[in-house]
């Protein structure tokens, strides 16, 4: 099935296309938001949040680990670990402000007298932050959380710039984002996003990367799930070489359906480069099919991660159109939330 404007209009009922096209603006606007000053010392950094709100913490953790010796953790649950204390800086991220796991974490962080910073557009998180006089970065509302990454990630990045932990982002960086978005728009020829969406159509994507790019391929997996309404699988090297490399035999019907793609950053450890080469050769012989490889654009880790995110978002969008589904609709998630509400709220 060919992707065209008629099919997009038919299936993209809530106009996610416009949100994708506006991503560069979300990023620059998010980076220019005022961020609170934290005048307390902290010896641990904790990011919390679920789903589309949680991916921001996954991304910033990888970047921080390149620049600071302060331990960084991502918690996606109802409770904080025992090591979190009054010296811990805890980021509470919930786009809606009503995510029950994140509300629970907020209460736990408050009990532990942690240093708290909230990021939300509305809801209970905003109410609690205002009531408790906790610093809040208020971001624009009115979009699916997974489409608000520019507002969820870049103010947090800016916070660490202000605290002299991360480097300032120049205008050229945001121009690159704008160009990448344009590269994957429907009007562009030689469109990598459409090409990969067509390769993954009616297939099961299996995506591999080195550890630092795990947040990017995790975003691909979650976007394939929410936007495209289909399964995908991800893993990292070298870990998959110690187990998953043995999986490419059974079940036979599954093996025939997979499309394997390796993410190449040109920043890998030389042994990872060699592992990718050998592993792709082994898998190719097992499944008798070409192994896809994607080399990331960008000059550093944040540029390569954001490029990976943008490309994955567009692939999942085009895959939704090929699958004849509305990329915005999340019926099953809403049913789950409604059923949980019947048992009472936290």
pLDDT tens for the 346 residues of the chain, in order: 789 999 999 999 999 999 999 999 999 999 999 999 898 999 999 999 999 999 999 999 999 999 999 999 999 999 999 999 999 999 999 999 999 999 999 999 999 999 999 999 999 999 999 999 999 999 999 999 999 999 999 999 999 999 999 999 999 999 999 999 999 999 999 999 999 999 999 999 999 999 999 999 999 999 999 999 999 999 999 999 999 999 999 999 999 999 999 999 999 999 999 999 999 999 999 998 899 999 999 999 999 999 999 999 999 999 999 999 999 999 999 999 999 988 665 5
Q: What are phi and psi of 142, to 5 degrees?
A: 95, 15
Q: Based on the fold, state whether residues 137 and 186 are members of the same structural domain.
A: no
Catalytic residue check, 26: no
Q: Based on the fold, state whether residues 157 and 188 are members of the same structural domain.
A: no
pLDDT on residue 2: 84
Q: Based on the fold, state whether residues 139 and 193 are members of the same structural domain.
A: no
Q: Given 226, 259, 268, 329, which residue is catalytic?
A: 226
Q: Based on the fold, state whether residues 198 and 150 are members of the same structural domain.
A: no
Q: Based on the fold, state whether residues 245 and 123 are members of the same structural domain.
A: no
Q: Based on the fold, state whether residues 213 and 289 are members of the same structural domain.
A: yes
Residue 329 domain-assigned? no
User: Which token pair is 319?
Assistant: 């895959």
Q: What are the C-alpha distances in Å from 86 to residues 20, 93, 109? A: 39, 19, 9
Q: Based on the fold, state whether residues 206 and 278 are members of the same structural domain.
A: yes
Residue 203 domain-assigned? yes
pLDDT on residue 288: 87
Q: What are phi and psi of 318, to 5 degrees?
A: -65, -35
Q: Based on the fold, state whether residues 125 and 188 are members of the same structural domain.
A: no
Q: Given 127, 256, 257, 337, which residue is catalytic?
A: 337
Residue 343 domain-assigned? no
Catalytic residue check, 69: no
Residue 108 domain-assigned? yes
Q: Given 37, 82, 242, 266, which residue is catalytic?
A: 242
How many residues are listed for the chain in this entry? 346
Q: What are the C-alpha distances in Å from 159 to residues 65, 137, 138, 202? A: 15, 10, 14, 42
Global pTM?
0.96
Residue 135 domain-assigned? yes
Angle at CA of residue 138, ends 115 and 135, nearest 5°: 20
Q: Based on the fold, state whether residues 159 and 208 are members of the same structural domain.
A: no
Catalytic residue check, 226: yes
The answer to whether 165 and 72 are in contact (CB under 8 A) is no
Range of the domain at 139: 33-169
Cα separation of 122 and 95, whole Å?
7
Q: Based on the fold, state whether residues 164 and 283 are members of the same structural domain.
A: no
Residue 20 domain-assigned? no
The answer to whether 148 and 139 are in contact (CB under 8 A) is yes
């Amino acid at each position: 099935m060919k992707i065209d404007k008629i099919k997009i209009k038919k299936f993209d009922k809530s106009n996610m296309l416009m949100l994708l096209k506006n991503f560069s603006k979300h990023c620059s606007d998010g980076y220019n938001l005022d961020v609170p000053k934290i005048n307390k010392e902290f010896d641990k950094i904790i990011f919390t949040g679920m789903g589309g709100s949680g991916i921001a913490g996954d991304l910033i953790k990888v970047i921080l680990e390149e620049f600071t010796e302060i331990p960084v953790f991502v918690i996606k649950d109802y409770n904080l670990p025992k090591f979190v204390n009054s010296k811990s800086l805890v980021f509470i991220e919930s786009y809606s402000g009503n995510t029950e796991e994140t509300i629970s974490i907020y209460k736990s962080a408050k009990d532990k007298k942690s240093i708290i910073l909230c990021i939300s557009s509305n809801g209970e998180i905003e109410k609690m932050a205002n009531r408790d006089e906790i610093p809040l970065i208020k971001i624009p509302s009115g979009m699916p959380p997974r489409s608000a990454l520019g507002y969820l990630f870049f103010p947090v990045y800016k916070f660490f710039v202000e605290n002299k932990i991360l480097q300032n982002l120049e205008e050229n960086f945001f121009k690159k984002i704008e160009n990448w978005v344009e590269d994957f728009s429907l009007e562009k020829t030689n469109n990598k996003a459409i090409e990969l969406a067509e390769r993954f159509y009616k297939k099961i994507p299996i995506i591999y990367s080195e550890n630092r790019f795990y947040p990017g391929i995790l975003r691909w997996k979650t976007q394939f799930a929410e936007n495209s309404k289909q399964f995908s699988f991800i893993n990292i090297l070298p870990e998959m070489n110690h187990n998953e490399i043995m999986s490419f035999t059974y079940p036979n019907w599954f093996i025939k359906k997979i499309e394997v793609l390796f993410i190449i950053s040109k920043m890998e450890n030389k042994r990872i480069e060699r592992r990718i080469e050998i592993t792709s050769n082994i898998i190719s012989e097992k499944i008798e099919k070409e192994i896809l490889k994607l080399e990331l654009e960008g000059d550093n880790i944040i540029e390569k991660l954001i490029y990976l995110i943008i490309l994955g978002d567009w692939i999942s969008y085009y895959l939704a159109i090929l699958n004849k589904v509305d990329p915005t609709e999340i019926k099953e998630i809403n049913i789950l939330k409604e059923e949980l509400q019947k048992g009472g709220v936290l």
